[in-house]
Structure 1
Amino acid sequence: MSDSLFNSPTISQPTQARSWITRLVFALAFSTLFLMAVGSATRVMNAGLSCPDWPLCYGEIVPRDQMNLEVFLEWFHRLVATTIGFGTIALVAVSWWFRRDLPKWTPWATLFALFLVVFQGVLGGLTVTQLLRFDIVTAHLGTGLLFFSTLLAIGTMLIPYQGTGTVGKLRLVGIAATGFVYFQSILGGLVSSQWALHQCFGQSQLCTIMNSHIAGIVPPTLSVLALVILAWRTPALHPLLRRLINVAGLLLVLQISLGVATFKLRLQVEPLTVAHQATGAALLGTLLVFTVLALRDSAEGQIVKVEA
Structure 2
Amino acid sequence: MRRFTWLVNLTLALTLMVIALGAYTRLTDAGLGCPDWPGCYGRLTPPVKDVHIEAAQARFPDAQIDPFKARNEMMHRYIAGLLGLCVLAVFILAQRLRRARGLSAALLALVMFQAALGMWTVTMNLMPVVVVAHLFGGFALLSMLVLLRVELGRDPAGPADPVEPRLTRLLPLAWLGLAVLLAQIALGGWTSANYAAAVCYQLPFCEGGWHAQFSLRAAFSLPLGHETYEYGVLPYEARMSIHVLHRLGALVATAVLAGLVLLCMRRALSARLRGLAAAVGVLLVLQVTLGLINVVGQVPLFNAVAHNVTAACLLAALVLLVRQLHVQSGQALHARGRARPGAAYGVAVQGPMKLR
Q: TM-score, normalised by structure 2?
A: 0.73
> Separation in 1 of the partners of 2:79 and 2:271?
34
Alignment of 1:89-108 (within 5 A): 89-99=88-98, 102=99, 106-108=100-102
2:288 matched to 1:256?
yes
Of 291, 316, 319, the match for 1:288:
319
3-state SS of paired residue (2:244): helix
Q: Which moved more, 1:241-250 or 1:131-140?
A: 241-250
- Given that residues 177 and 257 in structure 2 are in contact (C-alpha distance below 8 angstroms), is that contact kept between their aligned partners in structure 1? yes
How much does 1:58 deviate?
A: 2.5
> 1:255–1:280: 8 Å Cα contact kept in structure 2?
yes
For 1:191, the equivalent position in structure 2 comes to 191
In structure 2, the residue matched to 1:209 is 242
Deviations 1:80-105 (A, max 9, x none): 11111111111111111121xx3xxx
Equivalent residues of 1:163, 1:298 under 8 A apart: no
- Which fold has the larger relative contact order, with Cα–Cα distance below 8 Å and residues 6 or more apart in sequence? 1
Summarize the Cα distance change of 1:165–1:73 in structure 2 as closer, same or farther, 3 Å threshold.
Answer: farther
The Cα shift of 1:159 comes to 2.5
1:132 to 120, 126, 133: 126
Cα pair distance change 1:220/1:23, threshold 3 Å = farther
* Deviation at residue 305 of structure 1 after TM alignment: 4.3
Q: 1:228 to 1:89 in 2, by over 3 A?
A: same
Q: What SS does structure 2 have at the residue aligned with 1:216?
A: helix
SS at match of 2:197: helix
Question: Do the aligned partners of 1:251 and 1:279 also contact (CA within 8 Å) in 2?
Answer: yes
Of 252, 276, 280, the match for 1:219: 252
CA contact (8 A) 1:54 1:129 kept: yes
Amino acid at match of 2:152: L
Q: Does the 8 A contact of 2:199 with 2:243 survive in 1?
A: no
Q: State the shift of 1:218 in Å.
A: 2.7
Contact 1:255 1:276 in 2 (8 A): yes
SS at match of 1:197: coil
Partners of 1:30 and 1:160 in 2: CA distance = 20
In the TM superposition, residue 259 of structure 1 has moved relative to its aligned partner by 0.8
Q: CA deviation at 1:239?
A: 1.4
Q: Tell me the residue number matched to 1:272.
A: 303
Tell me how far 1:163 sits from its aligned partner.
2.2
1:188 deviates by: 0.3
Structure 1 gap segments, 5+ residues each: 1-16
On the 8 A contact 2:114/2:137 being kept in 1, the answer is: yes
1: CA distance, partners of 2:161 / 2:252: 28
Q: Paired residue for 1:234?
A: 267
The separation in 1 between residues aligned to 2:13 and 2:319, in whole angstroms, is: 14
Counterparts of 1:1-308 in structure 2 under 5 Å?
17=1, 20-63=3-46, 64-65=48-49, 68-99=67-98, 102=99, 106-160=100-154, 162-166=160-164, 167-198=167-198, 203-236=236-269, 238-267=270-299, 269-307=300-338
Q: CA deviation at 1:307?
A: 4.5
Show CA shifts across 1:58-88 (max 9, x none): 2222235368432222111111111111111
User: How many Å separate the matches in 1 of 2:5 and 2:289?
Assistant: 34
Identity %: 30
The one-character-per-residue Cα deviations of 1:172-226 (angstroms, maximum 9, x if unpaired) are 3322222221221111011001102345679454211111111111332122111
Aligned Cα RMSD in Å? 2.2
Q: 1:22 and 1:307 mapped to 2: Cα distance?
A: 35
Counterpart-to-counterpart distance in 1, 2:153 and 2:282 = 24
Q: What residue ranges of structure 2 are gaps of 5+ in the alignment? A: 54-65, 202-234, 340-356
Between Structure 1 and Structure 2, how many residues are aligned?
A: 284
The whole-number CA distance in structure 2 between the counterparts of 1:163 and 1:31 is 32
CA contact (8 A) 2:146 2:316 kept: yes
Bigger Rg, which one: 2
**CA-CA distance at 1:266 after TM superposition:** 2.7
**CA distance 1:125–1:209, change in 2 (3 Å):** same
**Does the 8 Å contact 2:265/2:278 carry over to 1?**
no
Q: Which whole-Å deviations, capped at 9, do the CAs of 1:248-298 have from their partners, x for residues lacking one? A: 11211111111122122332x111111111111111111111221222222
Runs of 4+ more than 6 Å apart:
none
Distance 1:113 1:165 in 2: 32
Give the distance between the partners of 2:265 and 2:31, measured in 1 at CA.
Answer: 43
Q: How big is the shift at 1:22?
A: 4.2
TM-score (norm 1): 0.84
